[in-house]
Chains A and B, each alone.
Chain A
């Protein structure tokens, strides 16, 4: 992709976040989409490209009354929206469409109009993981971590520190689900979920959604909001089974996706002013910082403990409070993207003053997939 050839001109979350028992999954998609269209000053008839995950782009287009010439149903888990941004940028550059709407909506908590989490017993996961008692992400996403902890001398306190610092960011965000300060002891005394993971090391489960609208940089200057340009993108996938990850100390999908995005953007790590790393669990920012190359393998725990990613640190990370404290509907990637866009517009609740480059890095499944989007507010 040509850097800065495509821009975000509309961005919004659902009107409410948290517990929304009176809106179904597709209703959350629509609420976010309408809010993003209002933000961009557009009507459904102005949209000619759609992308979504969880529901099909056909459902989305029909529900909103859109007749697209481009539809992307890439569904690789919570980072699907990073991939949608990447694909939309390519599609706009190739002339497949002009204005792409990307939506997310999930009734993670209330389960209104939502499907289940089952796996067919004949699938590879059904045959070679489900029989051993895996339930949902807390017993799968966490499986590599003891190996990582042994390799790098990471402690339970280090994992807890990730959650504590993200809560500090959440305290600055009126829309965050959890805002009260917590200590390392609070995290280590919270109920055991799947050793070594305790409840406060695991993400929230809430309802909500978000939507983005992208168009060419050339057209972007005619929209009401300050354009946020796409500087670089990356994606990759590794395995649907966490037990078959090549290396439990590092995500191959993270490494491939991150490098692709940084190469495309032509930037160095020191150029990054703001970072979002999808944190479904407390270990993900550790893996992310290392696999994206911000620190060397094993250094992330000290980097976080020394408050580099905290308020006032040199690399503000997960400034909305993250999946651990802001919200987590199931496919959190959209909220990471929304926070990056807010930071680039200068409208975030915990605004990083003067931020010019933001990296939004997502994970899908249990280290199954990854997508990275690098934004800038400078043309």
Chain B
């Protein structure tokens, strides 16, 4: 069963094009410097429309998660993490932590993680995170 995938809108297309091209793109306000996610055409902190897109570092820490023991049919049959990471630039986003056992012992809050783009189709790659190397 094919995985449920996002359908980009005009306001979010840069983000998904970035993931396709191997870059995690965030936005920040050029008036108040606030970095934010999810994408939108204005700053949610001050309301300014003067915002810019930039490439984030892809570095983050594990903020919180669950391990879903009843996976959705398109997510396979094994328990898997559904996590929220805090990006080095400030915003948080939902993701899956991959590249490590899906257990409480391996998934430690505040551990450093880094983005890895998981190609799903020619247009969509999902930003997943794995334990940071080194």
Please report A residues at the B interface, Cβ cutoff 8 Å: 120-122, 124, 126-135, 138-139, 142-147, 150, 191-197, 241, 243-244, 248
CB–CB B64/A129 < 8 A: no
**Chain A, Cβ-Cβ closest to B110:** A150
- Chain B interface residue count: which class? 35 or more
State the CA gap A147–B12 with chains docked (Å): 28
| Given A122-B9, A127-B8, A248:B71 Cβ within 8 A | no
Partner of B64, one of A120, A122, A126, A145: A145
CB–CB A142/B6 < 8 A: no
| Given A133-B72, A133-B75, A134-B82, A128:B66 Cβ within 8 A | no
A249 to chain B minimum Cβ distance, whole angstroms, is: 10
CB–CB A143/B95 < 8 A: no
Is B92 in the interface zone, CB < 8 Å from A? Answer: yes
CB–CB A147/B64 < 8 A: yes
Chain B CB within 10 A, most for which of A127, A133, A135, A193:
A133
The interface residues of chain A lying within 8 Å CB-to-CB of B8 are 122, 127
Partner of B82, one of A127, A133, A244: A133
Main secondary structure of the interface of A (DSSP, over half): mixed
Q: Tell me the chain B residues, 1-17 only, with Cβ under 8 Å from chain A.
A: 3-9, 12, 16
CB–CB A243/B66 < 8 A: no
The interface residues of chain B lying within 8 Å CB-to-CB of A244 are 37-38, 92
A149 to chain B minimum Cβ distance, whole angstroms, is: 9
Partner of B12, one of A120, A127, A243: A127
**Chain A, Cβ-Cβ closest to B9:** A122
**Chain B, Cβ-Cβ closest to A147:** B64
CB–CB A135/B5 < 8 A: no
A177 to chain B minimum Cβ distance, whole angstroms, is: 21
